[in-house]
Amino acid sequence: MEAIIADKNSNDARYILGKLCLEGLSDKVKKNEKKGINWLKDAINNGHIGALEYKTYYDIRFDKQPKLKKIISSLEQVVD
């Protein structure tokens, strides 16, 4: 999967790998929160709306001190 991600147009792959790393639901991808967040951030920086939405909801649920202004801004971006 990393070979696919090496291609700059593979934001869907970055998003999926990020989700798999965060959730740890795959036998082939070990749970790794830090890696998962980084894959999602890469996809977000390349304009992937699904990754932005997923990371925003992840932050709402698991961030110890959620940044409300950032969350609201992200959700508005998803809606647009």
Closest CA to 18 of 48, 9, 8, 7: 48
Can you give the pLDDT of all 80 residues of the chain as single tens digits? 666 676 667 889 899 999 999 998 888 888 999 999 999 999 999 999 999 999 999 998 888 887 888 888 888 988 88
Determine the structural domain holding residue 53 and report its residue range.
Answer: 2-79
What's the domain count of the chain?
1
Based on its alpha-carbon atoms, the radius of gyration of the chain, rounded to whole angstroms, reads 13
The confidence score (pLDDT) of residue 63 equals 83
pTM recorded for the entire structure: 0.82
pLDDT the model gives residue 7: 65
Tokens representing 38 are 């980084």
